Amino acid sequence: MTGQLGSEICRMLGPIAVPLPRRVADLNQPSVVATAIEQLRPDAVINCAGWTAVDDAEAAPTECHAINTLAVGEIAKACNNIDATLVQMSTDYVFGADKNRSNPFSETDTPGPLSVYGFSKLAGEEAATTANRHLVIRTSGLYSAGEAGIVRGRNFADTMLSLANDHDVLRVVGDQQCTPSYVPHVAKGVLELLMLGRRGIFHVVNNNSTTWHGFANELFRLAEKTNSVAKITTDEYPTAAERPLYSVLATEKFGSTTGSPLPDWKVGLREYVQARNAQNVGSGETKCTQYS
């Protein structure tokens, strides 16, 4: 188990969690995964695995669909065979086709993906609903400090801090509105819904929204980085897969169900920097200054 969210959920659950190693949880071989599930007979299966390389999916739609959609259907069948709940992770990228959108998407809004990845995740949601007991979680822009420090490419926050070591000025897209979400907060939210026995689709993201440019600026402020962050448009940073200009997820349903929404995204980012500082102190590195 090496993914950010899956690892955090296992950490929170402790000894009652049974993480499947990659050799068993290979979604290219869904029958192997299904067999493992039926042998273990858990009360719930939390599927955090999937194809997450958004741009690469454009050149490999069949492979992406097999992992994000077909494999989910097989897992759903296995869950039905043992009467287990399937918790399927999804994404804000199931939205984006509405180019005039300016208010958060609710769970009942009609999806409209823009990319192969987005379509595969939407189809994966539909496959998950074939499980008699299912919980579909849409989240966005996951990041965490992890236990290995900064790893460029693992998540946006890590990548920005890594790039800051090599560049005085970083160019960051400033016209994509979303909600980057701190993994420990999301993991806690997922488990709350599971323990409450909820079913259906829920949006589990930090509260309020920003752009990637706004996120990077706040990250550097908290980490006391002096790098400049230049705002650019999506058109100035072309990618193989089209990104939503607006994919903010509404969280009222989650808040009313659990009693409170997840913290503001700035709170999550502050906790991320604090977690990194704790790691740095333990390793003897210089601690970053904190600002509230």
- Spatial distance between the Cα atoms of 133 and 131, rounded to a whole number of angstroms: 5
What distances in angstroms separate CA 72 from CA 28, 87, 137, 260, one per listed residue?
A: 11, 10, 14, 30
Count of Cβ atoms closer than 10 Å to residue 228 Cβ: 12
Is the distance from CB of 290 to CB of 274 less than 8 angstroms?
yes
Active site residue 117: yes
The closest of 106, 100, 216 to 164, measured between CA atoms, is: 216
Q: Which two tokens stand for residue 43?
A: 């009360």
Of residues 117, 143, 182, 272, which has the active-site annotation?
117
Q: Which two tokens stand for residue 148?
A: 């290995």
What distances in angstroms separate CA 30 from CA 75, 180, 262, one per listed residue?
A: 7, 30, 33
| CA-angle at 7, arms to 6 and 8, nearest 5° | 90
Catalytic (active-site) positions:
117
